[in-house]
Structure 1
Amino acid sequence: MRMQNLAVTATLIPVLLLAGCGTDAGVAAAVPAAQKAPRTTTVNEAVSSDDPVLNAYYGYRVALDVMMRSGGARTKQLEPVMTPTMFQAISAQAKYFRSRKLRNTGTTKVLWAKRTLASNGVIVSACYDTSAARTVNVRGRGVLPNTTPTRWLDQMRVLNQQGRWVVDGGTTTPNAC
């Protein structure tokens, strides 16, 4: 039981700690008002929208899912979709997965995503479902308690950095969205 709680905490801590990382006031003025993503998708599908900000978030979810399914071994796809500070935090999560020989199975499904302007930049709010994705140990046994939530609400800041949109951090909370 203690190891299971540690796994949940270690999985979420890097993302939760990034709430205050990075700001870019100029980005807020350059981006139109909120838009909702056009469809529900799994991170394994080729996701695309007309909105480059939402595409940046989808790219982040795909890269994160690849890292977690690889047990923390594959991290190169993370660098282009996030800021260096965010990459550092997610790399710590990857290291935790490698050291504990954990990996995810299945896929994460983004149910909806929309962007809004905030005082600290562009925020993508997204609801995703992890009911088809499990965190397992080397023997394939689930390491998270059955009471672990499967619906999560991301509030991620997205910045235009060197001509491309990248995720800068934010919060992830359990939510029946």
Structure 2
Amino acid sequence: MRRQVMAVTAAVVVALSLTACNGGSSGSATPPPFTPSSVPPASSTTPSEHPGSDGAVEAYRQFIAATDAMGRSGGADVTGLRKYSSGTMLAAELNQAATFKGRKWRSVGQQKVVRAKVLTTGTPGPDGAVNEVVVEACVDSSQAITTGPDGKPVRPANAPTQLVDQMKMVRVAGAWTANYPHSRKPGKC
């Protein structure tokens, strides 16, 4: 069963990555390194709406930026993925990085988190801390383009460029990480 979950998750991640391609072409410039400060500040959720969830939305945005950095590097830069994902998502994203390397894919541009909020919070533990939340976000990948070694886009013509993502975020060593996709489906931002 665990292998099936991993395979499904990997397929979802590949599909999400391919939706980041919109038919443009890529240049040969060296991709910039992952920089958390390149992500716009977030929050459409105030701490009082979901006590204990402070920082989860920002960590989700950083996770999306890390997937962009991995794509721009052709799968070489996984630093941000290791920082902002864990469990099933980390395994799936590292698999995706290997796919980019193996197929010599590169991405240009970046995904945009149009809106994001904490949808639900887990039950506080004995210490009162919430260690699990679900973040719902609408991600526009129309400006992120993945190309093959020939410079041609790899995204299928009918692939959506906007997704509604519900991601389980968990605290690992005191920091929020993307852990498991609850739901990823085409949507409108």
In the superposition, the TM-score normalised over structure 1's length comes to 0.71
The count of residues paired between Structure 1 and Structure 2 equals 142
Corresponding residue number in structure 1 for 2:146: 135
Which of 134, 159, 167 is the matching residue for 2:178?
A: 167
2:40 corresponding residue in structure 1? 47
TM-score using structure 2 length: 0.67
Within the candidate set 84, 109, 120, 1:117 is matched to 120
Q: CA deviation at 1:169?
A: 1.4
- Percent sequence identity is 34
CA distance, structure 1, for counterparts of residue 179 and residue 147 of structure 2: 28
42, 57, 61: which one aligns with 2:60: 57
CA distance in structure 2 between the partners assigned to 1:82 and 1:152 by the alignment:
19
SS at match of 1:78: helix
Question: 1:46: Cα distance to partner?
Answer: 3.6
Over 3 Å counting, the alpha-carbon distance change for 1:172 and 1:149 in structure 2 is: same
Rounded to whole Å, the distance in 2 between the matches of 1:100 and 1:56 is 29
Counterpart of 1:162 in structure 2: which amino acid?
A
Q: Which secondary structure state, in structure 2, belongs to the residue aligned with residue 79 of structure 1?
A: helix
For the Cα contact (< 8 Å) 1:15–1:169, is it kept in 2? Answer: no
One-letter amino acid matched to 2:158: T
- Runs of 4 or more above 3 Å deviation: 43-46, 118-121
Q: How far did 1:44 drift?
A: 7.6
* Paired residues for 1:61-100 under 5 Å: 61-100=64-103
What stretches of structure 2 of length at least 5 have no aligned partner? 1-7, 15-35, 44-53, 124-131
Contact 1:104–1:135, Cα closer than 8 Å, also in 2? yes
Deviation at 1:84, TM superposition (A): 3.8
Q: C-alpha deviations, 1:123-176, integer Å up to 9, x for none?
A: 100001111111111121111122111101111011122211111111322222
Moved more, 94-103 or 82-91: 82-91
Alignment partner of 1:149 is 2:160: yes
- Structure 1: segments with no counterpart, 5+ residues: 1-9, 17-42
Specify the SS of the correspondent of 2:97: helix
* Structure-2 change in CA distance of 1:154 and 1:44 (3 Å): farther
AA in 2 matched with 1:152:
L
